[in-house]
Structure 1
Amino acid sequence: MCTGKCSRVVGLGLLPLALTCIVCNLLLCFPDWDTQYVHEGGKLLTPAVLYLGGLVGGGIMILIPAIHIQATGRQGCCGNRCGMFLSILFALVGLAGSVYAVSVSALGLVYGPLCQVLESNGSLGKWEQPFTQDELSEQSYLFNTSTWDTCAKPPGVVRFNVILFALVLAASLLELLLCGVQVLNGLFGCLCGTCSKKRAEHTQS
């Protein structure tokens, strides 16, 4: 596969991953599908949600590079050595964004959601992150679903956060891989070309 075709595949692969990160981050703002949690600056939202790892890091910082990277696989102004050099720079931006998204989503999974806890007497307690001390225990809350009922409000917020943060983490890891591939591919494209001239000559003949 020539470097131009590889860029096209990488660019097309990044687009749905970026959209996945954006959608997941936006959904994380509405636990229990309720808009009340975004009021007052989102003080009732999990801190990792407000870091916008999926929206900014895995989303916008990937979406823009993906458009250019995909364009280098076509004939035209981007399908040349200069376009390939620019694709390296865009891929580096994508790498930074995906690393940020991985870090934020990992934090969201490790420390768990912000929620109103259920006290031992059955009453509602204060808003906190009840799983932040799990690193001191033998087993993380992620593998001990019986502890998820500790969070009473928003209902089902632990499962909600785990699923969406896991999706952002998986998507951003794939973005990290694809952007790394494009850095190498762009380097070869700068040195060897994109095969666009060969394709054009073959079409004309």
Structure 2
Amino acid sequence: MCCSVGFARSLGLALFPLALCCILANLLLLFPMGETSYIQQDRLASYIWYFGGLGGGGLVMLIPAVSFTTLGKCGCCWNESLMMCGSALAAVVGLVGSGYCFVMSGFALVQGPQCFTSFGWTYPFADQGGRYLLQPETWSRCLQPVHIVEWNVTLLCVLLGLAVLQFIICLLQLGNGLVNAVCRPCCYKQEYSLNA
């Protein structure tokens, strides 16, 4: 059981920097190239306002991170089983949060940025189904904000990668928590019957 708790704590410690990076990446998306005028004029891509990184990959992910790192030790095996069940539930919350971050980032990436083109403010890549990602020569359609396509693609790809890592970590703890919650009482009964 100590190994399981230690494993869960290490997973929780790994989630903290990932969650902070998600929050940072999402905040950077709100201020293209460090400019505040675009958020004031509502010139950001619509999916960025769903806060996939800030909410799902960031704040929601702090729930399993805190849960995993604060797993305590107690003398009662049944309490330890309940504790591992709780960590499994926290892992499910983490799976939902990382999934939300991944989906929103994916939608934002496929939609492309809102930018000023020769036709005014529009989504020049929205009807391409993400093909613009493989055609960097078309990115110059966006005149303002400068380098907005590179900015969005980089940060959204970072969010996608972080969401995948978070999902894997939470999936590992879900398995760890369920196995220990189910197997620990059985092992405890066998130990008790052997000692008796």
TM norm structure 2: 0.86
AA partner of residue 132 (structure 2): Y
AA partner of residue 135 (structure 2): N
Residues of 2 paired with 1:144 and 1:177: CA distance?
A: 31
Q: Structure 2 residue aligned with 1:143, among 134, 146, 149?
A: 134
Q: Structure 1 residue aligned with 2:73, among 72, 75, 80?
A: 75
Shift of 1:76: 5.7
Q: Counterpart in 2 of 1:96?
A: 96
Task: Report if aligned partners of 2:18, 2:162 keep a CA contact under 8 Å in 1.
Answer: yes
Residues of 2 paired with 1:62 and 1:83: CA distance?
A: 19
Q: Tell me the matched-pair count.
A: 180
Residues of 2 paired with 1:32 and 1:17: CA distance?
A: 22
Which SS does the other structure have where 1:127 is aligned? strand
Structure (1 or 2) with the greater helix fraction: 2
Instruction: Note the aligned Cα RMSD (angstroms).
Output: 1.8
1:160 aligns with 2:135: no
Residues of 2 paired with 1:29 and 1:152: CA distance?
A: 18
| Unmatched 5+ stretches in structure 1 | 120-124, 194-205
Q: Counterpart in 1 of 2:48?
A: 49
Task: Report if aligned partners of 2:11, 2:68 keep a CA contact under 8 Å in 1.
Answer: yes
Task: Report if aligned partners of 1:69, 1:87 keep a CA contact under 8 Å in 2.
Answer: yes
Residues of 1 paired with 2:24 and 2:152: CA distance?
A: 13
1:131 aligns with 2:130: no
Shift of 1:140: 1.1
Which SS does the other structure have where 2:126 is aligned? coil
Residues of 2 paired with 1:14 and 1:37: CA distance?
A: 31
Shift of 1:65: 1.4
Residues of 1 paired with 2:74 and 2:120: CA distance?
A: 59
Which SS does the other structure have where 1:152 is aligned? coil
Which SS does the other structure have where 2:85 is aligned? helix
Residues of 2 paired with 1:75 and 1:87: CA distance?
A: 13
Residues of 2 paired with 1:84 and 1:68: CA distance?
A: 10
Percent identical across equivalent pairs? Answer: 38
In the TM superposition, what whole-angstrom CA distance separates every residue of 1:120-164 from its partner, at most 9, and x where no partner exists?
xxxxx31111001213xxx81111111110001111100000000
| Unmatched 5+ stretches in structure 2 | 185-196
Which SS does the other structure have where 1:12 is aligned? helix
Task: Report if aligned partners of 2:63, 2:93 keep a CA contact under 8 Å in 1.
Answer: no
Q: Counterpart in 2 of 1:109?
A: 109
Residues of 2 paired with 1:182 and 1:161: CA distance?
A: 31
Task: Report if aligned partners of 1:4, 1:189 keep a CA contact under 8 Å in 2.
Answer: no
Residues of 2 paired with 1:184 and 1:64: CA distance?
A: 17
TM norm structure 1: 0.82
Residues of 2 paired with 1:22 and 1:149: CA distance?
A: 28
Task: Report if aligned partners of 1:3, 1:188 keep a CA contact under 8 Å in 2.
Answer: no
Q: Counterpart in 1 of 2:8?
A: 7
Q: Counterpart in 2 of 1:197?
A: none
